[in-house]
Structures are given as C-alpha cells and as structure tokens.
Amino acid sequence: MKILRTPDACFENLKDYPFEPHYTNIKTEDGDELRIHHIDEGPTDGPLVLCMHGQPVWSYLYRKVIPYLNKAGMRVIAPDLVGYGKSDKPAAREDYSYERQVTWMGAWLEANDFKGITFFGQDWGGLIGLRLIVNHPDRFDRVVISNTGLPHNPDVPDDIIRQVEDFRANAPTPSLMAMQKALSAMGDSGHFATQFAYWQKFCWENEDMPIGFMMSMTMEARSSLASALKFFLHDLGVHSPFPTPLARAYDAPFPDPSFKMGPRAMPSQVPSLPTSPSLQQQEKAWEFFEAFDKPFLCAFADNDPVSAGAEQEFLNHVPGTNGLPHTTIKGGGHFVQENAPDQVAGVIIDLIRSTQGD
C-alpha cells in the first residue's frame, strides 16, 4: 500500500486551531503501518467525548465545539479519519472501503483504550462511529448523532439501481452548480440514491476536488454578489478564488491532488444501493441497535436536505432513544459544528449531565 503523509508545514498558522497533535500507529490487514492523528483536549478525568468528522473535512471542524465542552469539564477526543487531516493518506481508490475505515478506526480505538465514551458523529463520522459502537459496545456509554445515518438499502427497485449505475458510469461529470442543485433537492423528490449519485460522481471525477472552496461557500456567510463572483472565477478555472482562512484550513491536508483520494473515493462507499459490499454488515448493525438501550440522542439540523428525516429511523427502532429530549439544531446546515457549535455542545453536555450514573 502506498501511503502519503501531509508535511507538518501545511498545518502551520491555521486560524483557531491551537491543539497539540497526538498520533497512534496501527497495522493494516496487509501489515502496513498507518499513523492516525487525534486531538485530546480537556481534563484527563473529565467525561470522555469522542467527536468524529465526515467527508471532506477533518478535526478542524470541531475547533469551535471543543472550548464549550472543555469549559463544562469534559475531555474531547477528535480523530482525523484515515485519508483526512493530519492522518496518513493511502493513495489508491481501493484502499478506502467502508469496512477498512471501520477496521482502522477500531484498531485506533483499542490502541488508545478509550472507555466510558459519549459518542458524537456527523456525516461519515456517524456512519463509521456507529459501526465502532457495534464492534466495541462496552467502550460506549451514550450516543449523540447529527446529520448522519446508518444506510441499509436492500430493497431499492431494479430500475433505480440501473439508473444510478448508468449515471455514474456514463453521464458527464456534473458541474459544481449541478451537484449542489441535486443535493439541495434530495428532500423534495426522487430516490435518495439518484440524487446522491451527483455527489458521488462529482467527488470521484474531480481529481483536484475543490475542498476548501466548497467548504467556504457552504459554511461562510457572504453577499449574493460575492458568492456569484467566486463561482464565476471558479468556473473560469481559478481553483480557490480569494481563499479565506477557513478555505485554507480545509485545503491544508491536501498539498496536491494525489492526497485527495480519501475525500474523492468515500462518497462512493455509502451503502445507498443493495449492491453495496457493506450490505450484510449494515444489516447486522441495525440488528444490534434494535436492542441498544443506552442513551441515544438525535440532534439533526432543520435545514440540511442531505439528511432530512434520517433521524426517524433511529427514533423508530433504537430503544435508547425513548424518553430523551431529541433536539433540532436551528440553522446548523449540514456541518452543524461550524454553524451552531454552541447548540451542538449544549446537547452533548445536557445528555451527559442528565444520564451520569444511569
């Protein structure tokens, strides 16, 4: 396995990211060594909160949440998934299966022997983190999820499967605007898999995926005129026009396109179709959570079309959700950690304080 490592210099002078790095080396199935980075902030004897990020971001996403949790006396662990942030980055597409990410992060969890965990996961952080809970249940005391899911889709009609597979194989690469339009319409009509295929295809077929630019346009407020200008310049080939500190931070892990295989490949691993190689593991995971009675809280945003309504499946099937004050994050967008860090932290703090000793 060819493994890339982002030079430390790429992470110098990032805004609002003063955290000391911590590294854990694990072995892959092939005997290769991977270095996984995590943040460890707060009192060592405080309640332990594991915060996991998704795609295409990294632990920088939690820089606003961590101070709230630390002030409440909590210890925060925030890892970078393999392929992201300061963690190592395998260079081949086939390295980034869902199951490998679960295995790698499980090895990291065991190596650090974290216990008594309150888990918070969003986006891929939820997909991977929920599987960690299945595989290591005694290490987790409670769960909070936001804008994520545990996809298991064994009954997608054949015509939808053919439509998605044909689109991903033969359609032109969608533009940034077309991709965003498809994602924004996910809650309105059509099948999830057909709309999500735009994101899968856009990520995979853009070798130099404009991560910092996309995160800036998604997370930062600006006038309509300024947004239009940035999109215009991007369409002309300016990869990251007038980059903000936030855009630079989300680009930092990827000094050239060869480092971006993780963010490009992972969307295609979401089990949106019954042809997914993770179908059986997802079925077993749902069987586990249908008997999970530890506190399990949903805190989804009111304005994220990607995950709209996804919390209902957990509320319907996970016993641990019963009787808890499930929360709507107001104005959080998809990345609630950036847009509503106080609300995210408040939900976690309240759950821990209300269930300690249970």
**Superfamily holding 3-152+274-355:** Alpha/Beta hydrolase fold, catalytic domain (3.40.50.1820)
pLDDT at 237: 64
- To 10 degrees, the CA torsion angle through 252, 257, 259, 260? 90
pLDDT at 220: 85
Concatenate the DSSP letters of all residues of 5-44 into one string. ---GGGGTT-TT--PPPEEEEEE-TTS-EEEEEEEEES-T
User: pLDDT 10s per residue in the chain (358 long)?
Assistant: 899 999 999 999 999 999 999 999 999 988 999 999 999 999 999 999 999 999 999 999 999 999 999 999 999 999 999 999 999 999 999 999 999 999 999 999 999 999 999 999 999 999 999 999 999 999 999 999 999 999 999 999 999 999 999 999 999 999 888 898 888 877 665 678 899 999 999 999 999 999 999 999 889 876 666 666 666 566 656 666 668 999 999 999 999 999 999 999 999 999 999 999 999 999 999 999 999 999 999 999 999 988 988 999 999 999 999 999 999 999 999 999 999 999 999 999 999 999 987 6
pTM of the shown model: 0.94
Concatenate the DSSP letters of all residues of 94-144 into one string. GG--HHHHHHHHHHHHHHHT--SEEEEEETHHHHHHHHHHHHSGGGEEEEE
CA distance 140 to 130: 10
3 state SS of 254: coil
pLDDT at 221: 74
pLDDT at 243: 82
CA distance 240 to 260: 15
Helix (H) or strand (E) holding 298: strand 296-301
Domain ranges of the chain: 3-152+274-355, 158-269
Token pair in block for residue 332:
């959080």
Concatenate the DSSP letters of all residues of 305-331 into one string. TTTTTTHHHHHHH-GGGTT---EEETT
Contact 21/256 with Cβ under 8 angstroms?
A: no
pLDDT at 238: 63
CA distance 88 to 280: 28
pLDDT at 356: 87
User: Would you please indicate which residues are annotated as catalytic (active-site) residues?
Assistant: 123, 304, 334
